[in-house]
Structure 1
Amino acid sequence: MLQQLFNDMIKQDVKPFLSKRGFAKKSLNFHKRTESLIYMFNFQKSAGNAADNVMFYVNCGIYAAEFAQIQSRELLTAPQEAECHFRARIGEIVESAPDRFSITPDTNMDDIRETLLSGLEEVIHFYDTMTSARSIVDYYSSGPYLHLAEESFHLLLQSKDVVAAKHYWKSLQEKYGKEKRWSIFENKYSAIFNKYGVEFDER
């Protein structure tokens, strides 16, 4: 019964909403392609679902062909969420969205629909600001985050933006430099900088 409510919401609400905005559905994945990026939403059902509680997550992803080439991987036309270069749960992008949605016998489906569609709309506005692989680099370097750092250094140094690459390294060093694992990352980053003939003073 509750599973059917979830299925109906995907079919009757989510699919038309995202189709109008250029997303094509395949199973519980929705993709929208541009020349260099693929934007996607993935609806992931929780492993802990029961007859009286259907829970699901909304995963957001952006796949960049430029990063796939840096990683020497085959270019994909319909990537899974785990294969995307930018990855986040909807709640990480939209403050008003829950990390996990839940449908129970007491759930007001109009409320959950409104929250979900409003959240998807906000993510699409966020996607509109992410127009290239460099946008993804800027997002992760602003954190700064370790995720995708190696690929980001390659992209920055290939485009000869040495200033941004050094700033990203320094920010990561300040955030993670006291952790035992930092030396592993530092060695990897040094090798990338050396590849492009760029020296970096680690002190």
Structure 2
Amino acid sequence: MSDLEERFADAVAAIGRVLKTHGFRKKRYVWTRVGDGVVHEVDLQRSHGNSPDSVRFYVNASAYVAAFARAIGDRVPENLASATAQYSTRFETISEWPTDRVDMERDAEAVSSALPSAIEQVVTHLDGITDEASLARTLFDSGSFLDDDLFAWFCATGRLADARAQFAAARERFGTQDRWPRLAANFDETAQKYGVALS
């Protein structure tokens, strides 16, 4: 094993120590925590450009809420850990880690100090996703204005002001693009399904 691969193994171990204390279970480079209808997951994604002289990886965080799925008519699997996450983000967007990846050469010192702290911040973020409403808030706050399931959930649960706010945010962000008529039609189709008027 090369020196960089040994450092990578140390980084995996450092992440694992943090996540284990918060109830996550590890399978290869994926840590999963299943609660009451909620799944939180943290995974490492090795860079495709890795070589013996360059080892880098990304950290992803995701969440799934069964009640959110049920509200919009999606099937909930018996094994919640096998469900497709409704929310996913990279750890640099929810922690103080300064770049979009961990580079085992550049970040050698940070692996033992800043990386565990960043993973704690990731856990704190996931701890805030406890039910369908907090999942919806997280999706909206993260800028997922084109998320069909989020819009459907707002409509299905009678949160009409939130549905209209998502549509308005999407129109402001994407309204000048050529694809906007198609996107707007998707919003309108979902709104009509639930009897919601967008204006």
| Bucket of the pairwise TM-score, normalised by the shorter protein | 0.7 to 0.9
- Residue by residue over 1:72-124, the C-alpha shift from the partner in whole angstroms, topping out at 9 and shown as x without a partner, is 355253348xx3211111111113342111112xx574422212111000111
Partner of 1:126: 125
Partner of 1:114: 113
Q: 1:155 aligns with which of 128, 153, 156?
A: 153
Cα distance in 1 for partners of 2:120, 2:143 equals 26
Please tell me whether the aligned partners of residues 146 and 170 of structure 2 are also in contact (alpha carbons under 8 angstroms): no
1:65 maps to 2:66: yes
User: After alignment, is 134-143 or 71-80 more displaced?
Assistant: 71-80
Partner of 1:77: 80
Segments of 4+ in structure 1 off by > 4 A?
none
Q: Which amino acid aligns with 1:66?
A: A
Partner of 2:172: 174
- Residue by residue over 1:146-180, the C-alpha shift from the partner in whole angstroms, topping out at 9 and shown as x without a partner, is 342x1112211221111111121112112211111
Q: Which amino acid aligns with 1:118?
A: S
Q: Shift of residue 31 of structure 1?
A: 0.7
5 Å-filtered alignment, 1:1-203, equals: 1=2, 2-11=4-13, 13-69=14-70, 70=72, 72-73=74-75, 75=77, 76-79=79-82, 83-104=84-105, 109-142=108-141, 144-148=143-147, 150-201=148-199
Q: Shift of residue 49 of structure 1?
A: 0.9
Say if 1:108 and 1:84 are closer, same or farther in 2 by CA, change over 3 A.
closer
Please tell me whether the aligned partners of residues 97 and 115 of structure 1 are also in contact (alpha carbons under 8 angstroms): no
Say if 1:176 and 1:30 are closer, same or farther in 2 by CA, change over 3 A.
same
Say if 1:156 and 1:125 are closer, same or farther in 2 by CA, change over 3 A.
same
- Residue by residue over 1:4-47, the C-alpha shift from the partner in whole angstroms, topping out at 9 and shown as x without a partner, is 32123323x22222111110001100011121221111111111
Cα distance in 2 for partners of 1:108, 1:46 equals 15
Say if 1:60 and 1:199 are closer, same or farther in 2 by CA, change over 3 A.
same
Aligned length: 195
Say if 1:143 and 1:18 are closer, same or farther in 2 by CA, change over 3 A.
closer
Cα distance in 1 for partners of 2:129, 2:76 equals 22
Please tell me whether the aligned partners of residues 11 and 111 of structure 2 are also in contact (alpha carbons under 8 angstroms): no
Identity %: 24
Say if 1:174 and 1:8 are closer, same or farther in 2 by CA, change over 3 A.
closer
RMSD over aligned CA atoms reads 2.1
Say if 1:66 and 1:168 are closer, same or farther in 2 by CA, change over 3 A.
same
TM-score by length of 2: 0.87
Please tell me whether the aligned partners of residues 64 and 85 of structure 1 are also in contact (alpha carbons under 8 angstroms): yes
Cα distance in 2 for partners of 1:141, 1:200 equals 17
Say if 1:54 and 1:41 are closer, same or farther in 2 by CA, change over 3 A.
same
Cα distance in 2 for partners of 1:147, 1:193 equals 14
Cα distance in 2 for partners of 1:128, 1:48 equals 33
Q: Which runs of 5+ in 2 are unaligned?
A: none
Q: Shift of residue 71 of structure 1?
A: 6.6
